[in-house]
């Protein structure tokens, strides 16, 4: 049996997306900037894509800028936003558990003379709201927050936080990294008062190298890539038409039968957590299980269990395994056809330990013993039960071999 | 401008009756190296040198890089070919060559002539004198110095004429295939690829053994070793890389033996297995990247205990090198960047926090008795499941 449980790293492209992309690449391949009919065909794909995505967010098509993915969207938002608003100040606020594509542009801006404040989180991965509000100053220009954390699946309560921010400082630019959130939640930036939002295509069964940044009309932002002036000058370079078309179709797919899909994902998460709890010596991160689970991993309050799981993202579970190195367990699972991540796949080539796990106060010995299991709506309960059986089988053996 | 290369060799010049064998091996290696670059070349040996003449367009830098990797080549001289060797044309063309290469630089020079074509009307000493005169007349920035010239302008006359003055240092050593074959214990680290390179440089062909321990080591770690072997093979020629699954042996040793002796005992089994593979593959020596005192398993005492299981000679070419000296060679041969990629190798999980640094052979042998029950079967199983990857 095979179980791909690394969908927060990337997902398989849907058939209809791949088919459409091939058609665009081979038949409707015109450059949107060309004046002839072939160019117009290309341009129409972009227009349609912007309209599809805009409607999923209830925003205007002109507020969508296509990028090469989530990383570029975050870079454009932060660097482009910072330089466009430099006269209003040079202070930016973010959190300690952001993805590297937010964290590293901020470090770059720090080198360039901006001042960055990183706000902490609690053990469930919720931003310390008071600390955030206290950090706001006269010269704060951007506040950047992650919607769903990629390593632990915690959700940032934007509906609660943003009004409080606005109360303190009305005209600060609020950026949300929604790369793990888009497609899992219905997010309406205008209704919850978000100014900029980053999304990636390959997390929602779209192509890699696709993504977009929502920038609210009237919010000032400068380009970070210069050239032929495509996309109103905000993002030069011939548009990646097949990817953009694929991204829009993936967005349309993901929000079709949305309730059913999300319900399925939450059922998967319940099933997985219930089963993984039976594996000895594990800790589940970022789900509040206090008073819900007995010591042998039995769930005693099922109602509360369900409620608390639904306070987290439906597709990510972070589990720490005492006395087992995550990389060894990962490869042992791989041998059984179960594919997961240690930390976040994007950063696991670096030997440095996870910033997110440290931020939520995971014990030091467990930092290098934590795996992330992440699902898609194609995942089945059988796969999850199989993965948990593998864990039952493998962990006692691996626990025997620790460095002494 | 350059259409040919003259390759000099030093050591094989003195090998007496075996000389033709060394020259043929060198010629073959040059051909092999050039087969990987764009263009076609004629490679011939003549008068104590190898002559490479381009038969098509080629990229100069690419050819030099390839030739610099051939063991046995002491120096590479890029050569300009002059089709018409009539004296008046020859002087002008040699003059043009000097102008192009040295421009207005103030240099001292000397002409060295060689007359392969004994029918040529002017004898060699006269060619030197007359050519020197011509060059002095034509360029103000040249001065003759017959004892210690900055530039030696070599002119060789055969059916065509050849001129060269630039001398690029070659890899040195001896041509591959002139000195038998040895088995390299290749890990993902910095030292073992360097060790393999150094022994190959003496004309030795190499095979390699890598100990893979899934799930403790990943496929990426294995891929890293394949990549390292590929890089070494640019110098050492094709390599058969034998991948041994070591996990069960490792776990068994962990279960049965004192933990501070784990590394030593594991290394002894690695040596035993590598030696068996060496015998099977016609290797007559083992190569390791050990350097005295670098880690606990490489103290003099530890080396005594690992050596004790080998009947074959174990070559340790970096034994007296500091880490920095090894790193310099790794950088030179292009293995360093791959070696420092952070995928864990076999050792980490199964290394004791406080390993013995001065093991006694007696106590290690005593500990190994505890493995008697099952170890032979496990070793046999590991040998049966070896995966051999041919790296060309």
Tokens of B330: 């790794």
Q: What is the distance between the alpha carbons of residues B7 and B72, in angstroms, rounded to a whole number?
A: 9
Residues of A in contact with B213 (CB under 8 A): none
CB of A98 closer than 8 Å to CB of A156:
no
Q: Is B388 on the interface with A (CB under 8 A)?
A: no
Model confidence at B223: pLDDT above 90: yes
pLDDT value of position A350: 45
Show the 3-state SS of B37-94: CCCCEEEEEECCEEEEEECCCCCHHHHHHHHCCCCCCCEEEEEEEECCCCHHHHHHHH
Count contacts between A and B (CB, < 8 Å).
Answer: 37
pLDDT value of position B143: 94
Among A335, A402, A403, select the one facing B214 at the smallest CB separation: A335
Compute the nearest-CA separation of B251 from chain A (Å): 8
Out of A59-63, A328-332, B314-318, B350-354, which region has the weakest mean confidence (pLDDT)?
B350-354
Mean pLDDT of B244-249: 96
Residues of A in contact with B251 (CB under 8 A): 401
CB contact (8 A) between residue B215 and residue A403:
no
Q: A139 with A231, same domain?
A: yes
Q: What is the distance between the alpha carbons of residues B189 and B198, in angstroms, rounded to a whole number?
A: 15
Beta strand segments in A322-399, E: 338-339, 341-342, 370-374
Model confidence at B15: pLDDT above 90: no
Q: A50 with A178, same domain?
A: yes
CB contact (8 A) between residue A327 and residue B344:
yes
Model confidence at A313: pLDDT above 90: yes
Question: Which residue out of B215, B217, B218, B347 would a mutagenesis test of the A interface target, given it has the greatest number of A Cβ atoms within 10 Å?
Answer: B215
Give A122-176 pLDDT, tens digit per residue. 999 999 999 999 999 999 999 999 999 999 999 999 999 999 999 999 999 999 9
Q: Enumerate the CATH 3.40.50.620 domain ranges in chain B, comma separated.
A: 181-391
- How many domains in chain A? 2
Average pLDDT over chain B reads 92
Mean pLDDT of B127-149: 94
Model confidence at B381: pLDDT above 50: yes
Q: Which residue has the tokens 């997902």?
A: A11
Q: Enumerate the CATH 3.30.2130.30 domain ranges in chain B, comma separated.
A: 4-169
Q: Is A403 on the interface with B (CB under 8 A)?
A: yes
pLDDT value of position B45: 87
Q: A37 with A158, same domain?
A: yes
Share of chain A above pLDDT 90, in %: 91
CB of B338 closer than 8 Å to CB of B226:
no
pLDDT value of position A185: 97
Show the 3-state SS of B192-233: HHHHHHHHHCECCEEEEEEEECCCCCCHHHHHHHHHHHHHHH
Share of chain B above pLDDT 70, in %: 97
pLDDT value of position A273: 98
Residues of A in contact with B217 (CB under 8 A): 331
Compute the nearest-CA separation of A94 from chain B (Å): 30
Q: What is the distance between the alpha carbons of residues A117 and B128, in angstroms, rounded to a whole number?
A: 77
Q: Is A324 on the interface with B (CB under 8 A)?
A: no
Mean pLDDT of A221-249: 97
Q: A186 with A293, same domain?
A: no
Q: Is A291 on the interface with B (CB under 8 A)?
A: no
Among A350, A398, A404, select the one facing B352 at the smallest CB separation: A404
Q: A109 with A35, same domain?
A: yes
DSSP state string for B88-117:
HHHHHHHHHHHHHHHTT--EEEEEEEEES-
Residue A363, φ and ψ in degrees, nearest 5: -55, 145
Last residue of a domain, one of A220, A254, A288: A254
Q: Is B256 on the interface with A (CB under 8 A)?
A: no
**How does residue A18 score in pLDDT terms, banded at 50, 70 and 90?**
very high
Name the residue among B374, B209, B171 with its Cα closest to residue B287: B209
Range of the domain at A279: 3-10+257-400
Q: Is B17 on the interface with A (CB under 8 A)?
A: no
CB of B70 closer than 8 Å to CB of B30:
yes
Which residues of chain A from 75 to 94 reach within 8 Å of chain B, CB to CB?
none
Residue of B nearest to A323 (CA): B349
**How does residue A48 score in pLDDT terms, banded at 50, 70 and 90?**
very high
Residues of A in contact with B345 (CB under 8 A): none
Residues of A in contact with B221 (CB under 8 A): none
Among A327, A335, A401, select the one facing B251 at the smallest CB separation: A401
Out of A164-168, B157-161, B178-182, which region has the weakest mean confidence (pLDDT)?
B157-161
**How does residue A182 score in pLDDT terms, banded at 50, 70 and 90?**
very high
Compute the nearest-CA separation of A398 from chain B (Å): 10
Give A330-365 pLDDT, tens digit per residue. 999 999 999 999 864 444 444 455 689 989 999 888
Q: A279 with A197, same domain?
A: no
Q: Is B351 on the interface with A (CB under 8 A)?
A: yes
Q: A72 with A113, same domain?
A: yes
Q: What is the distance between the alpha carbons of residues B66 and B22, in angstroms, rounded to a whole number?
A: 19
Q: A333 with A245, same domain?
A: no
Among B218, B255, B349, select the one facing A403 at the smallest CB separation: B349
Among B215, B251, B259, select the one facing A332 at the smallest CB separation: B215
Burial (CB count <10 Å: 0-12, 13-18, 19+), residue B192 = buried
Compute the nearest-CA separation of B80 from chain A (Å): 45
Tokens of A197: 């939002």
Last residue of a domain, one of A254, A278, A311: A254
Name the residue among B166, B167, B186, B177 with its Cα closest to residue B71: B177
Q: A237 with A303, same domain?
A: no
How many angstroms separate the Cα of B213 from the Cα of each of A241, B260, B314? 45, 20, 24
CB contact (8 A) between residue A325 and residue B352:
no
CB contact (8 A) between residue B351 and residue A327:
no
**How does residue B20 score in pLDDT terms, banded at 50, 70 and 90?**
confident
Q: Is A334 on the interface with B (CB under 8 A)?
A: yes
Cis peptide before B215 (omega within 30 of 0): yes
How many angstroms separate the Cα of B281 from the Cα of each of A397, B205, B230, B245, B307? 36, 12, 19, 18, 20
Model confidence at B263: pLDDT above 70: yes
Q: Which residue has the tokens 């000032």?
A: A220
Question: Which residue out of A324, A328, A336 would a mutagenesis test of the B interface target, given it has the greatest number of B Cβ atoms within 10 Å?
Answer: A328
Q: Please say if A388 is a catalytic residue.
A: no
Residue of B nearest to A352 (CA): B342
Tokens of A195: 């100014």
Q: Quick check: ipTM above 0.95?
A: no
CB of B290 closer than 8 Å to CB of B303:
yes
Q: A261 with A245, same domain?
A: no
Among B218, B254, B351, select the one facing A327 at the smallest CB separation: B218
Instruction: Tell me how long chain A is.
Output: 404
pTM: 0.88
Chain centroid to CA B361: how far? 35
Residue of B nearest to A336 (CA): B215
CB contact (8 A) between residue A329 and residue B215:
yes
Mean pLDDT of A181-201: 98
Q: Is B349 on the interface with A (CB under 8 A)?
A: yes
Q: Is B352 on the interface with A (CB under 8 A)?
A: yes
Last residue of a domain, one of A229, A254, A279: A254
**How does residue B117 score in pLDDT terms, banded at 50, 70 and 90?**
confident
Mean pLDDT of A240-261: 98
Compute the nearest-CA separation of B325 from chain A (Å): 26
Chain centroid to CA A306: how far? 22
pLDDT value of position B248: 96
CB contact (8 A) between residue A325 and residue B349:
yes
Name the residue among A315, A313, A291, A314 with its Cα closest to residue A303: A291
Residue of A nearest to B258 (CA): A404
pLDDT value of position A347: 45
| CATH, domain B181-391, list 3.40.50.620, 3.90.1150.10, 3.40.50.1000, 3.40.50.10490 | 3.40.50.620
Q: Which residue in the list A271, A346, A388, A390 is annotated as catalytic?
A: A346
Name the residue among A130, A137, A85 with its Cα closest to residue A116: A137
Among B218, B254, B350, select the one facing A331 at the smallest CB separation: B218
Q: A31 with A85, same domain?
A: yes
Q: A235 with A316, same domain?
A: no
pLDDT value of position A351: 45
Model confidence at B18: pLDDT above 80: no
CB of A74 closer than 8 Å to CB of A60:
no
**CATH number where A371 lies:** 3.90.1150.10
**How does residue B348 score in pLDDT terms, banded at 50, 70 and 90?**
low
Compute the nearest-CA separation of A320 from chain B (Å): 18
Mean pLDDT of B281-287: 98
Average pLDDT over chain A reads 95
Give A276-311 pLDDT, tens digit per residue. 999 999 999 999 999 999 888 899 999 999 999 999
Q: Domain B4-169 carries which CATH code? A: 3.30.2130.30
CB contact (8 A) between residue A404 and residue B353:
yes
CB contact (8 A) between residue B214 and residue A327:
no
């Amino acid at each position: 049996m095979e179980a791909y449980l690394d969908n927060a790293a990337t997902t398989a492209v849907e058939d209809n997306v791949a088919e459409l992309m091939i058609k665009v690449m081979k038949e409707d391949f015109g450059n949107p900037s060309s004046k002839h009919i072939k160019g117009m065909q290309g341009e129409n794909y972009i227009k349609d894509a912007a309209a599809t995505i805009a409607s999923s967010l209830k925003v205007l098509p002109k507020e969508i800028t296509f990028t090469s993915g989530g990383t570029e969207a975050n870079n454009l938002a932060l660097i482009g936003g910072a330089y466009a608003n430099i006269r209003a100040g040079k202070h930016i606020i973010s959190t300690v558990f952001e993805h590297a594509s937010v964290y590293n542009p901020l470090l770059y801006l720090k080198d360039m003379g901006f001042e960055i404040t990183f706000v902490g989180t609690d053990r469930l991965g919720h931003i310390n709201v008071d600390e955030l509000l206290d950090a706001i100053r006269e010269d704060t220009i951007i506040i950047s927050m992650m919607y769903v954390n990629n390593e632990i699946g915690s959700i940032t309560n934007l509906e609660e936080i943003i009004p409080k921010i606005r109360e303190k400082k009305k005209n600060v630019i609020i950026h949300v990294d929604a790369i793990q959130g888009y497609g899992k939640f219905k997010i309406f930036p205008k209704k919850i008062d978000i100014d900029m939002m980053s999304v990636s295509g390959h997390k929602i069964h779209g192509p890699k190298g696709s993504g977009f940044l929502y920038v609210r009309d009237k919010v000032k932002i400068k380009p970070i890539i210069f050239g032929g002036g495509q996309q109103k000058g905000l993002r030069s370079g011939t548009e990646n038409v097949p990817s953009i078309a694929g991204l829009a179709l993936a967005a349309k797919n993901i929000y079709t039968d949305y309730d059913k899909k999300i319900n399925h994902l939450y059922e998967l998460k319940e099933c997985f957590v219930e089963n993984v709890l039976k594996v000895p010596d594990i800790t589940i991160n970022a789900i509040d299980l206090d008073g819900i689970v007995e010591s042998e991993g039995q769930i005693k309050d099922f109602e509360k269990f369900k409620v608390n799981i639904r306070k987290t993202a439906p597709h990510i579970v972070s589990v720490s395994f005492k006395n087992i190195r995550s990389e060894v367990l990962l490869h042992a699972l791989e041998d059984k056809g179960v594919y997961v991540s240690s930390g976040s796949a994007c950063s696991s080539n670096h030997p440095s330990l996870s910033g997110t796990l440290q931020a939520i106060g995971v014990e030091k010995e467990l930092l290098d013993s934590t795996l992330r299991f992440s699902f898609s709506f194609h995942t089945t309960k059988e796969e999850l039960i199989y993965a948990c059986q593998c864990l039952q089988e493998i962990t006692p053996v691996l626990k025997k071999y620790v460095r002494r | 401008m350059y259409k040919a290369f003259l390759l000099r060799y030093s050591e094989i010049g003195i090998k007496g009756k075996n000389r033709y064998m060394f020259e043929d091996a060198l010629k073959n290696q040059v051909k092999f190296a050039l087969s990987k670059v764009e263009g076609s070349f004629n490679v011939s040996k003549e008068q104590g040198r190898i002559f490479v003449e381009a038969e098509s367009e080629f990229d100069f830098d690419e050819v030099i890089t390839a030739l610099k990797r051939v063991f046995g080549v002491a120096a590479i001289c890029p050569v300009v070919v002059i089709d018409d060797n009539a004296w008046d044309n020859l002087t002008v063309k040699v003059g043009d060559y000097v102008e192009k290469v040295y421009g207005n630089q103030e240099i001292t020079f000397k002409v060295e002539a060689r007359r392969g074509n004994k029918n040529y009307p002017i004898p060699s000493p006269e060619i030197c004198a007359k050519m020197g005169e011509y060059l002095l007349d034509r360029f103000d920035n040249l001065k003759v110095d017959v004892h210690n010239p900055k530039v030696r302008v070599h002119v060789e006359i055969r059916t065509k004429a050849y001129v060269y003055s630039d001398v690029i240092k070659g890899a040195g050593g001896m041509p591959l295939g002139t000195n038998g074959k040895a088995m390299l214990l290749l890990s993902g680290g910095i030292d073992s690829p360097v060790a393999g390179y150094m022994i190959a440089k003496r004309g030795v062909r190499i095979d390699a053994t890598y100990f893979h321990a899934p799930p403790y080591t990943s496929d990426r770690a294995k891929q890293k070793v394949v990549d390292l072997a590929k890089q070494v093979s640019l110098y050492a020629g094709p390599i058969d890389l034998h991948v041994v699954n070591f996990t069960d042996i490792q776990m068994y040793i962990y279960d049965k033996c004192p933990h501070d002796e784990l590394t030593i005992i594991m290394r002894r089994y690695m040596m035993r297995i590598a030696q068996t593979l060496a015998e099977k593959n016609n290797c007559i020596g083992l190569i390791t990247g050990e350097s005295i005192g670098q880690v606990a398993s490489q103290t003099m005492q530890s080396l005594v205990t690992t050596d004790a299981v080998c009947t074959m000679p174990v070559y340790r070419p970096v034994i007296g090198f500091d880490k920095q000296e090894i790193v310099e060679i790794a950088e030179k041969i292009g293995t360093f960047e791959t070696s420092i990629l952070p995928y864990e190798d076999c050792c980490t999980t199964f290394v004791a926090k406080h390993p013995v640094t001065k093991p006694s052979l007696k106590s290690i042998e005593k500990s190994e008795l505890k493995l008697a029950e099952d170890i032979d079967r496990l070793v046999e199983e590991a040998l049966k499941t070896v995966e051999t990857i041919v790296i060309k």
